[in-house]
Amino acid sequence: MKKLLIHGGRRLSGEVTIGGAKNSTVALIPASILADTAVKFDSVPGILDVQNLQLILQSMNVSSEFKGGELTIDPTQIIEAELPSTAIKSLRASYYFMGSLLGRFGRATVTFPGGDNIGPRPIDQHIKGFEALGAQVHEENDTIFIDAPDGLKGARIFLDMVSVGATMNIILAAVKATGTTILENAAKEPEIIDLATFLNNMGAQVRGAGTDVIRITGVERLEAHNTHTIIPDRIEAGTYLAMAAAQGEGVLVKNIIPEHMEAFTAKLIEAGVALDVREDSIYVPKTDVLKPISIKTAPFPGFATDLQQPITPLLAKANGASKIFETIYPARTRHIPELNKLGMNIQVISEGTIEINPTIEHHGDTVKAAEIRAGAALVIAGLMADGVTVIEDAEHILRGYDRLIHKLTFLNGDIQIIDSED
């Protein structure tokens, strides 16, 4: 197990370039096995999730090479094989292999996915979609067996709740199905548009991505002719914007699509951060005075649940109490007792309702990252705190943040990664 060691109190300055979107990457890599040619991605983030997905590909005789932000995948010699349960359990997004294997072979056997513990995240809407397309699904011994003996056929599917994962998985399963699938109440996230763009550039017919109705007309072949550039990671961008507002002397955050960030940047501006929003970057000036705000998480284009934790340490600097209403995952509060160890005063006043009271003095301590975004909140708090902060279970953070140590060091942060035995 790895730890992060942070000497806090240093002011951050300079530039940081945002990597490709984790939440796109973890769907695009499984999507690659639908191709009948090799595929190539660039702007791929250097995160542990990519390594684990490569291990899963390897188990199916799919070769991949990742170097300098470029990832090449060749699925032309793919075989059906048992997927490595350790890699599957390490990240929740491994469930995208359900849709892509079903689309490729008409069947899939996948161990229940793992990933962050942020409360219940059922996959019933994924299964509903697969069954509507003609698949039979059953569960046994922590494994999901999916089979479409008569092939997949287009259908009209209405999601009972907006789900990014189910929307992407149904697209993956339907893209080679016979006929047309109409997916209603679909999620609208930019990462879904990114997936559809990749598939369409290979000859797929996915229309309406980014709206709540998506039409997928099945095709027989998918052939990649160009490199697909992954969109910038709006969650990584928001994390650095919050960090810069909390501890910066002037930080330029580059490689941003501002339209993807509007719900988040609007709240920073409301809190008193004088953001300079440019075409593909945002400058965060030194911010001395912050006002308390109220935030309610919601599906895109609302305030992202993944940015709820990274903004929390910043709000501890406001001159009054702020509140966050977590409507997506009400149990996503495991960062709060850890932040309080660092001198903050944050309380869960009811399920999904968090109150952040102002505090002036923050001090280092040993804390534990329960999941990716909770860990990001601890990194920001550790940079704000006086003294040394040790963050245990740092693998969670490294799963989701591209070259974190390099980027923070370049911004004048004092952070290093150590093995537990060290």
What are the pLDDT digits (tens) for 340-380? 999 999 999 999 999 999 999 999 999 999 999 999 999 99
Q: Has 125 been labeled as part of a binding site?
A: yes
In order, the DSSP letters of 259-281 are GGGHHHHHHHHHTT---EE-SSE
Average pLDDT, the chain: 95
Rounded distance, CA 321 to CA 317, Å?
A: 10
pLDDT at position 119 over 90: no
Q: Has 328 been labeled as part of a binding site?
A: yes
Residues 6 or more apart whose CB falls under 8 angstroms from that of 379 comprise 4, 6, 243, 391, 397, 404, 408, 415
The residue segments making up the domain with residue 315 are 2-19+232-419
Residues 6 or more apart whose CB falls under 8 angstroms from that of 86 comprise none
The tally of domains found in the chain comes to 2
Average pLDDT over residues 35-54: 95
What is the pLDDT, as a whole number, of residue 8? Answer: 98
Q: Has 23 been labeled as part of a binding site?
A: yes
What's the Cα-to-Cα distance from 316 to each of 230, 245, 346, 389, rounded to whole Å?
A: 34, 12, 8, 17
Rounded distance, CA 228 to CA 198, Å?
A: 6
Q: Which ranges constitute the DSSP H helices of 19-156?
A: 22-31, 48-59, 85-90, 96-105, 124-132
- Single-letter code of the amino acid located at 189: E
pLDDT at position 103 over 50: yes
Q: Which of 277, 105, 226 is nearest to 177 (CA)?
A: 105
Q: Do 236 and 221 reside in the same domain of the chain?
A: no
What is the pLDDT, as a whole number, of residue 102? Answer: 97
Report helix angle 164-174 to 96-105, nearest 10.
10
Q: Do 254 and 287 reside in the same domain of the chain?
A: yes
What is the pLDDT, as a whole number, of residue 180? Answer: 98
Domain boundary among 211, 229, 247: 229
Q: Has 309 been labeled as part of a binding site?
A: no
Q: Do 212 and 338 reside in the same domain of the chain?
A: no
Residue 5's CB is within 10 A of a number of other CB atoms, namely 17
pLDDT at position 295 over 90: yes
pLDDT band at residue 87 under the 50/70/90 scheme: confident
Q: Do 194 and 159 reside in the same domain of the chain?
A: yes
Q: Do 13 and 158 reside in the same domain of the chain?
A: no
Q: Which of 361, 290, 284, 275 is nearest to 322 (CA)?
A: 290
Q: Do 325 and 366 reside in the same domain of the chain?
A: yes
What is the pLDDT, as a whole number, of residue 122? Answer: 76
Q: Has 58 been labeled as part of a binding site?
A: no
- Single-letter code of the amino acid located at 329: Y
pLDDT at position 260 over 80: yes
pLDDT at position 37 over 70: yes
Model confidence, pTM? 0.95
Residues acting as catalytic residues? 116
Cα torsion for 178, 183, 186, 190, to the nearest 10°?
Answer: 40
> Can you give the CATH number for the domain in which 83 is found?
3.65.10.10
Q: Has 121 been labeled as part of a binding site?
A: yes
Rounded distance, CA 389 to CA 339, Å?
A: 11
What is the pLDDT, as a whole number, of residue 421? Answer: 65
Average pLDDT over residues 259-288: 98
pLDDT band at residue 114 under the 50/70/90 scheme: low
pLDDT at position 121 over 70: no
pLDDT tens, residue by residue, 208-252: 999 999 999 999 999 999 999 999 999 999 999 999 999 999 999
Q: Do 186 and 249 reside in the same domain of the chain?
A: no
Q: Do 167 and 306 reside in the same domain of the chain?
A: no
pLDDT band at residue 331 under the 50/70/90 scheme: very high
